[in-house]
Structure 1
């Protein structure tokens, strides 16, 4: 059985991706800051597929020490981790000049550092086995920056850059790296705003793209995939 670790798994895209992996018979490791939410999601995953193992731990992925403890816990409980989904992220609608003093550090620690740290933690074992697939959930803001979400755009640019370096470092070792680049997707980022879900990318769309890419032949890798609303960005 294959094993996957997913950050930011209890909501939005992370939730849809985790459910899709569970349905494929893949063991999953998930974390959340909220113990109740995590316990409910763990029970839901086991109901979806009683055959899989679920490693669930209360942890804040933006805190380096907690993230490392979660990685250690995952490896101990599941063994070799062949799939990493770096999904955890935060969106803040603010221009850089009008942003709060702690915003840059907060968003770097949420949108960029977890992907870097999990790569460092699991990367060498992937190289030694000669297989694995890392998915980094980037954003179209990392291609076309949004001035009104300045720091967010910068961190997503950086994540896309990290994805490219990972891919170059890993391609000679049989490990695949894919940047998933969604546009306007129906997640908690849109909470409190009037939106038409029929004009947006759904979390399940991102999940099905990941499953399709993961199931491709050994010799094929999708470097980057951009998924935007059919009618254009909102």
Structure 2
């Protein structure tokens, strides 16, 4: 069995990816700041596939020490991690000039730092094993900046750039790196807003794409995939 680590796996896209991987028989390491959400997600994953192992750690992925403790706990319970999904993120809609004092730090520490730190932690281990796949959840805002979400766009562009550098560093070792670039997707960011689901990408769509990419032959990699609503961005 393969072992995958997913940040932000209790909600939205991360949750859908975790469920999809569970169906594929992949052991999972997940974390959350909320112990209730964490336990509920672990139960859901084991209900989908009781034959997998799920390592669940209470941790805030935006805090380096807690993130690395999560990574260490995952290895302790599952063994070597070969799949990493850098999914955790936060969306704060604001133009840069209207940002609050903590907007930059909050989004950098949540959207960019976890992927960077986990890459630093697992990268050379993946190199030594000569196998693995890193999925970085970016955003179309990385390619087409949104002025009403300026700092968010900046952090997602940084994730996209980091992903490209990861791929260049890893390709000679056979490690795959994929940038996943979703457009408007139904997630917690839309809570409280009445929406027409047919005008959005669903988290399950992103998860299905990731599973398909993961199952490709050893010699094939999808560098990046863009998934947008058929009627255009919202």
Shared topology, TM-score over 0.5?
Answer: yes
Aligned to 1:216: 216
Secondary structure of the residue aligned to 1:179 is strand
How many corresponding residue pairs?
Answer: 234
How many Å separate the matches in 1 of 2:122 and 2:23? 24
User: 1:47 deviation in Å?
Assistant: 1.1
Aligned to 2:205: 205
Structure 2 residue 44 is the aligned partner of structure 1 residue 40: no
How many Å separate the matches in 2 of 1:41 and 1:156? 26
Write out aligned runs for 1:1-234 (5 A): 1-234=1-234
How many Å separate the matches in 2 of 1:77 and 1:164? 30
How many Å separate the matches in 2 of 1:160 and 1:199? 25
How many Å separate the matches in 2 of 1:193 and 1:48? 30
Q: Aligned Cα RMSD in Å?
A: 0.5
Q: Which runs of 5+ in 2 are unaligned?
A: none
Moved segments of 4+, more than 6 Å = none
User: 1:41 deviation in Å?
Assistant: 1.0
User: What TM-score do the two structures reach when normalised by structure 1?
Assistant: 0.99
Q: What are the superposed Cα offsets for residues 172-220 of structure 1, whole Å, 9 maximum, x if unpaired?
A: 0000000000000000111122211111000000000000000001111
User: What TM-score do the two structures reach when normalised by structure 2?
Assistant: 0.99
Secondary structure of the residue aligned to 1:135 is strand
Q: What are the superposed Cα offsets for residues 52-79 of structure 1, whole Å, 9 maximum, x if unpaired?
A: 0000011000011100100010011111
